Structure 1
Amino acid sequence: VGLAAPQVGVNVRLMVFNPEGVRGSGREYVLANPRIISTSNTTERGEEGCLSFITDKGLILGDVDRATMVKIKAQDENGAKFQLKLEGWTARIFQHEFDHLQGKLFVDADRMIAEDRAAAAEELQKLEAEFAALHPGVEAESVVS
């Protein structure tokens, strides 16, 4: 559905997503340097997963509360500035990808609800151990503790 540049090791403020989940079907968003102008006061809880958190059991999933509407400013792939109002599923996807640009993850304590974080803790610890084995000497902040 979506991918932010930092997820693939590219340090730019860029995201791409398609609410349909099928390339070439529906609208495909390419947003550079996105900024949130405003959000609704209304939130909705919904299940999310992330390509950054795949285990041998599949995607780690968990419920996250998100604003039901966001107004944003961004640039397209040619640098043209524009504004959008996103709602529902599309707003949720944008907020998830925007979090990546802000250094936030859906499994963070201020995102995923506590019960789902507790249920995912064992799988998250396995991912952290795999990272530590692949990158000795690199101190990474735990998303579990």
Structure 2
Amino acid sequence: MFLNIPNREKIKISNVILDFNGTIAVDGKLIGGVANKINNLSAIINFVVVTADTYGTVEQELAGVDCKIINLSKSKEFKSKLDVLNFLGKEQTICVGNGFNDRIVLKESVLGISILQEEGLSLEALIASDFVCKSIIDVFSCIENPYRIKATLRD
């Protein structure tokens, strides 16, 4: 997927890092429609869910969903979301989150998207983001139709 935003370099997006709780799940339960969106879009973009898995439900909730799960509370390879972002490549990765612990990857990624849903949005995550969506489904809609991103971020 390519993003061509006026007055910026053309960006090739290969990956999307998604936070789990508060972003694609509420209270440990996957938000309706998320599995279908990821499965449909995974043909063009790589989805990586990075979480500490507060509720212990990530594996169960994402069974059958075409994404990689990195559980930071169990990972020997990665200690933080920033480690994952650096491994994937900042210049080709979108990050989506809502929490205080997402602020660094939202700022460091080529495109940081924060969302305000039922679990709230950390002020630090908001400030670190390039833009905000009102739901995770809206984020997927922006990936499906990149002109929405272009319209939001153009000079």
Q: Confirm or deny a common fold (TM above 0.5).
A: no
TM superposition score normalised by structure 2: 0.25
**TM-score normalised according to structure 1 size:** 0.26
Larger radius of gyration: 1
More strand by share: 1
